[in-house]
Each structure stands twice: as C-alpha cells, then as structure tokens.
Amino acid sequence: MRSIDNWQAHSLRLTVFPLEAQSDTGSWWADVVGEIPARQQALPRESRWEEAAPIAVDVLLDAELLLRVQTSRIDWVLQQGAGSSPRALALPVIGPFRAAAAVFGGFVERWLRICPPVYRLAFGALVFLPVSSRTEGYSVLSELLPFKVDAEDTSDFMYQINRPRKAKSDGWEYKLNRLAKWAVATFEVLEVEIPSGGKSAREIGNACQVELDVNTAPGDERQMLPGDQLIAIFSQLVEAGEEILTQGDIP
C-alpha cells in the first residue's frame, strides 16, 4: 500500500458524453470560474471549441483549467499551463494528487449542477510517484501489482488492465470501469553546449506512472444518467481512482 500523499498529479480530467450534440461552450466558463477565460479558440471545421485560463492556487504549480467542447464530448481538464515557465529540475506535475483533485472537484461540481443531460461520465488522471531510479520504480510497482516486475533485467515495462465493478449511488446501480495503465517514466532535460551547439540528454528524475480512466460503462442504449446523482457519481469515480493508487491492482 502507498500513501496517497506520495502521488503527484500531472493532469486531471472530467469527460462527459451528452445526449444531444453541442455547438459551443455557452456561458459555462463564466458560470463555473466566475470570470472570462484568458484564451479562447474556435475550430468550427473540427467541431471543437476551447476556453482556458491559469488557476492561481497556493497548492498548485503553474496550473491551467481547460474546457473543451466537441459535438459529442465535453472535457474539463486541470493541467500544466501552456505558458508555464520551465522547471528543469522538477517533474512535470501541478501538485499533490489529493490537493489537485480537491481544487478540480470544486470546478467540476459547479458545472455538473448546470450541465446538459449526459449518458456517460469519466474521471481521468495522469499521476507520478517519484522514485530514485528505474530499479526502485519496478520494485514499487511489484508492491502494487499482483506479480513481481523484474527490477534488474527488464525495461520498457507497461501494464494495462480494466477491473470493472458494480456500483451504486442512492439506489441507482451502474457498472464502473476501472482502467489503469502502469509504467515507470524517466525524465530528461536536453542540454545544449555553447558555442559548439552539441546536445546531450541528462536524466533529472524517475517516477512510477499511472494513467487512470475510471468511468461509467456504456450500456446497450444511451440512457441518461440521473442528473441529481452526477456529483455523487463523480466523487465515486475519484475515490475509485484513489483506491487504485493506494492499494494497487485489485479486483
């Protein structure tokens, strides 16, 4: 078992699939954030609209909130800002997973109260657990996975699995997909020699990496999720993701 406090968030995502096609972002940004976005982008040919702005919160580093609307999909993403200053000796994270999830959850809950009818909802995350080396990373994964990873004689390890479960929210039952992709990441910085122009890569860190996609499983038909249960369902998805990070790959 690993403490949730050790996990660092690179990005967090809410995805919903609306029952009816969407054509723009409407007033959602102002309703949720309380101010106009710092940047907007409309791509009508791709049926995609985006709005974004930096989020200044003490517990986060260079974080940006993004709203992306497509015809059949809506995403809210908390991620590193597009104009973030490089932190050459740091991993690409916005802050501790639990703190980032709390900030993100505040925005998500406000939007779920006013969102259009949806038939599917998902919580996604890319998170890192810093380790001293690839070998230590494989040892940590061996504690979280139902098998041992050869920490000495293997490389490029990647393990992906979905562990579906039955779930319930205030009497409403649904199938919960718990998809996780496990790996060990190595981060490097590219150094350029002046004036020769020679380039070399220098390792700056290693981390266990988990990509989460916890979602309500699609049914045979597009059945609307109960609107008064969306916030509770989202909380259950986040809790399921946290369980994976702390307890590992369990049924």
Instruction: Express each pLDDT in 53-68 by its tens digit.
Output: 999 999 998 999 999 9
pLDDT at residue 189, rounded to an integer:
63
Report the predicted TM-score, pTM, of the whole model to 2 decimal places: 0.92
HSE, side-chain direction, 13 A CA sphere, residue 189: 12
Spans of the chain below 50 pLDDT = none
Provide the residue ranges of all domains of the chain, joining segments of one domain with +.
4-247
Q: Residue 22's CB: how many other CB atoms inside 10 A?
A: 16
pLDDT at residue 196, rounded to an integer:
63
Q: Is the dihedral of CA 37, 40, 42, 48 positive or negative?
A: negative
pLDDT at residue 184, rounded to an integer:
97
Cα gap 8→250, rounded to integer Å: 21
pLDDT at residue 187, rounded to an integer:
86
pLDDT at residue 34, rounded to an integer:
96
Long-range Cβ contacts of 170-173 (<8 Å, 24+ apart): 170/229, 170/232, 172/226, 172/229
pLDDT at residue 199, rounded to an integer:
61
Identify residue 28 by its one-letter amino acid code.
Answer: W
Q: Which of 86, 176, 185, 202 is nearest to 126 (CA)?
A: 185
Q: Which of 181, 145, 169 is nearest to 237 (CA)?
A: 169
pLDDT at residue 1, rounded to an integer:
80
pLDDT at residue 90, rounded to an integer:
75
